[in-house]
Structure 1
Amino acid sequence: MLPVSADVKTSPVQKANFCSRLFVWWLNPLFKIGHKRKLEPDDMYSVFPEDRSQRLGEELQGHWDQEVKRAQKDSHEPSLMKAIVKCYWKSYLIWGMFTFLEEGTKVVQPIFLGKMVSYIENYNPTDSAALHEAYAYAAGLSTSVLVWAVLHHLCFYNMQRVGMRLRVAVCHMIYRKALRLSSSAMGKTTTGQIVNLLSNDVNRFDQVTMFLHYLWVGPLQAVAVTALLWMEIGMPCLAGMAVLIILLLLQSCFGKLFSSLRSKTAALTDDRISTMSEVISGIKTIKMNAWEKSFIDVISRLRRKEISKILKSSYLRGMNLASFFAVSKIMIFVTFITNDLLDNLITASQVFVVVTLFEALRFSSTLYFPMAVEKVSEAIVSIRRIENFLLLDEIPQLNPQLPSDGETIVDVNDFTASWDKKSGTPTLQDLFFTARPGELLAVVGPVGAGKSSLLRAVLGELPPSQGQVSVHGRIAYVSQQPWVFSGTVRSNILFGKKKKK
């Protein structure tokens, strides 16, 4: 963990003007560097102050703490979903409105195109007014395409940024919680589960924020397109829209399947990572007893089960993509067949309008909407798993740090405590001792006598059933098993702080 360098490049977006932000010109200097040579870590800009982990994590943690207090007051389970909505609904709703406007421009384009084709169909070289109208329609079509292009990239960038901020905030909360878990809570979770939460579950937030708005934008756009098609060709448009409705019903079923498969896959992944952690920690024993093949079979069996669930999800995802390429063509085909069976005449301008209106639905209703159903189903499962982890018991703040009096460091008075209160036999009972500055105090006893539990009691990790532990000043704890993270000796000592010379 290296300290943040003082010469880190600040992002130019902080000083960028409106046009630079709108067209992302502030990235041009970075593109020029990348054109000349391969980009290096030092070329990257620093994270925005509002996107830093501490700030995002504390903000969401505050909403979560309020939700927990409100749930305790009203006697119901706290909801992480409510805390997330309260934290991010304003900014995300704004970009939802821009997404609605973006999809609205796609619906307007076929109207302008149809008017231009109609002008060519009824071309009259002496009609100057019609020519001016055609120019206006062409300008409107060009403007709507330009507005769509700008809004599309701007909306996706900012919605991805909201997802990134949510992911970072939740990672901060999970890491903070992992450092505060009580001993009883540690028995309800595993290292594999925590790793899975930080590596797989939080990644769902990056994906769900990109497509979530299409759950309501897609149906609204379909209603608008249906109304325009009715105005153009009448009854035959309902046959094509019936195909879309059938697809949406299938997507709702797929959503339930995605949710079920995600839950099963996450549980299997937890088991596999937990087993791998146990194998790595006990690899010496496995090697000495030649148990490699047995453990390989165990891990392979777990991996095969996990892959089977992933494959089923992939098949459903493939069906979603297949619908994206095929459904719009099927809708057009069914509409024109129905129109022909009803003996209705159709003009070239109507053909262009119908085809382009159905193509306008191609992304929002046949790609983004199914993706939204899939990602929301998976995100709900991930939120539920993270919520269960955040509700685990924490170490209570039992021993507040008292000011040093120069005579006593630790004072244990009539202390009795137990890890399992249901057992009836206390782990520590009727302890009295005092540790003073300059003294060397050794605790000796056989395995299981309670030596480690005594240290946990001094640290405040073992709640007392009677008595108290008083700590005066600061104390240091050296674990029986040393822990060193990847980095230099200096970075392990400073732990991200600046060195005081």
Structure 2
Amino acid sequence: MLFAFVWYSNQQERDLRVGLALVGCLLLMKLVESLSQRHWFFDSRRTGMHIRSALMAVIFQKQLRLSSQGRKNHSTGEIVNYIAVDAYRLGDAISWLHMGWSSPLQLVFAVATLFWALKLGALPGLVPLVIFGFLNVPFAKILQGYQSKFMVAQDERLRSTSETLNSMKIIKLQSWEEKFRNMIGSLRDGEFKWLRETQMKKAYGAVMYWMSPTVVSAVMYTATAIMGSAPLNASTLLHGLGHLEGNG
């Protein structure tokens, strides 16, 4: 559509019917895209809500049948954490389920279209693309490790808080409030530490995510200008930038 609109704007004598047909095609494409995305989001959210509700019901039923040893290993705070955090995340995961296969497919189509538009000038742009892809692997592993440690620290803090609240009568009787407050505060500080590290790594990943299309496009257009593999007109530039920004 970008090629078609630029081609139409460069015509000396423009046919009104062709212009209306292009506008109609664009409106139809955006309508289909909008309806498809809304249906996907609505259906995935509804499915996630059903999964979340089912998990909450199963956890509640399991809690009613816990033995004494099971209640010792899983405090009330941990069970609340399962319902409030883990079940909620599993419900939200459905929204990202199709990203596993659609993102690589979109990337393949984008690279193929760039080779069609820029010819051999798109080849050097694959080097920073591959580099950014490999740089994401250690970031993802580090982020996964920090998230796991954060969840462990959160469970420990919730378990200690639940045990403290259940034993509040004895703590008040023995005047141990300050000691237990400091203990829970230290556990919360450890939880904040891993939360801070997780958010910092997410920030690094976001910078890399938004920086990669600019670097790749700069390399591709520089190579295209040097090699002269394709004319750097408005159609080629808009086409390449659209695919790089949309599939960055």
Deviations 1:454-474 (A, max 9, x none): xxxxxxxxxxxxxxxxxxxxx
8 Å CA contact retained: 2:156, 2:187 = yes
8 Å CA contact retained: 2:52, 2:90 = yes
1:358 to 241, 244, 247: 244
8 Å CA contact retained: 1:113, 1:137 = no
1:100-139 pair list within 5 angstroms = 112-121=1-10, 123-125=11-13, 128=15, 132-139=17-24
The alpha carbon displacement at 1:276 in A equals 0.9
1:395-434 pair list within 5 angstroms = none
Q: As a proportion of its length, which structure holds more helix?
A: 2
Alignment partner of 2:123: what SS?
helix
Q: Residues 359 and 140 from structure 1, CA distance in 2 versus in 1: closer, same or farther, beyond 3 angstroms? A: farther
Alignment partner of 1:234: what SS?
helix
Alignment partner of 2:146: what SS?
helix
Q: Residues 223 and 239 from structure 1, CA distance in 2 versus in 1: closer, same or farther, beyond 3 angstroms? A: same
User: Runs of 5+ in structure 2 lacking a partner?
Assistant: none
Work out whether 1:178 is the aligned partner of 2:63. yes
Counterpart of 2:192 in structure 1: which amino acid? I
Alignment partner of 1:239: what SS?
coil
Which structure has the larger Rg over C-alpha atoms? 1
The alpha carbon displacement at 1:341 in A equals 2.5
Alignment partners' CA distance in 2, 1:287 and 1:184? 27
Alignment partner of 1:346: what SS?
coil
Work out whether 1:248 is the aligned partner of 2:137. no
Q: Residues 149 and 244 from structure 1, CA distance in 2 versus in 1: closer, same or farther, beyond 3 angstroms? A: farther
Alignment partner of 2:12: what SS?
coil
Which residue does the alignment assign to 1:285?
170
Length-normalised TM-score, structure 1: 0.46
Q: Residues 324 and 152 from structure 1, CA distance in 2 versus in 1: closer, same or farther, beyond 3 angstroms? A: farther
Which residue does the alignment assign to 2:207?
322
Alignment partner of 1:124: what SS?
coil
Counterpart of 1:356 in structure 2: which amino acid? G
1:213 to 85, 88, 98: 98
User: Runs of 5+ in structure 1 lacking a partner?
Assistant: 1-111, 363-501
The alpha carbon displacement at 1:156 in A equals 1.2
| Farther off after superposition, 187-196 or 229-238 | 187-196
Q: How many residues align?
A: 247
8 Å CA contact retained: 1:332, 1:358 = yes
The alpha carbon displacement at 1:303 in A equals 0.6
1:288-327 pair list within 5 angstroms = 288-327=173-212
Q: Report the aligned-residue RMSD.
A: 2.1
8 Å CA contact retained: 2:160, 2:184 = yes
The alpha carbon displacement at 1:249 in A equals 2.8
2:48 to 160, 163, 175: 163
2:161 to 276, 279, 295: 276
User: Percent same amino acid among aligned pairs?
Assistant: 26
1:62-141 pair list within 5 angstroms = 112-121=1-10, 123-125=11-13, 128=15, 132-141=17-26
Alignment partner of 2:175: what SS?
coil
8 Å CA contact retained: 1:192, 1:271 = no
Q: Residues 324 and 141 from structure 1, CA distance in 2 versus in 1: closer, same or farther, beyond 3 angstroms? A: farther
1:444-483 pair list within 5 angstroms = none
2:144 to 255, 259, 263: 259
Q: As a proportion of its length, which structure holds more strand?
A: 1
Alignment partner of 2:73: what SS?
coil
Counterpart of 1:115 in structure 2: which amino acid? A
Q: Residues 224 and 337 from structure 1, CA distance in 2 versus in 1: closer, same or farther, beyond 3 angstroms? A: same
The alpha carbon displacement at 1:308 in A equals 0.8
Counterpart of 1:116 in structure 2: which amino acid? F
The alpha carbon displacement at 1:329 in A equals 2.3
8 Å CA contact retained: 1:113, 1:352 = yes
Q: Residues 251 and 162 from structure 1, CA distance in 2 versus in 1: closer, same or farther, beyond 3 angstroms? A: farther
Alignment partners' CA distance in 2, 1:202 and 1:247? 33
Length-normalised TM-score, structure 2: 0.90
Alignment partner of 1:181: what SS?
coil
Q: Residues 138 and 359 from structure 1, CA distance in 2 versus in 1: closer, same or farther, beyond 3 angstroms? A: farther
Alignment partners' CA distance in 2, 1:213 and 1:282? 47
Deviations 1:209-235 (A, max 9, x none): 112211210110111111111111112
Alignment partner of 1:187: what SS?
helix
The alpha carbon displacement at 1:132 in A equals 4.2
| Farther off after superposition, 248-257 or 278-287 | 248-257
The alpha carbon displacement at 1:159 in A equals 0.9
RCO greater where, 1 or 2, for CA within 8 Å and sep 6 or more?
A: 2
Counterpart of 2:87 in structure 1: which amino acid? V
Work out whether 1:148 is the aligned partner of 2:33. yes
Work out whether 1:346 is the aligned partner of 2:235. no
Alignment partner of 2:192: what SS?
helix
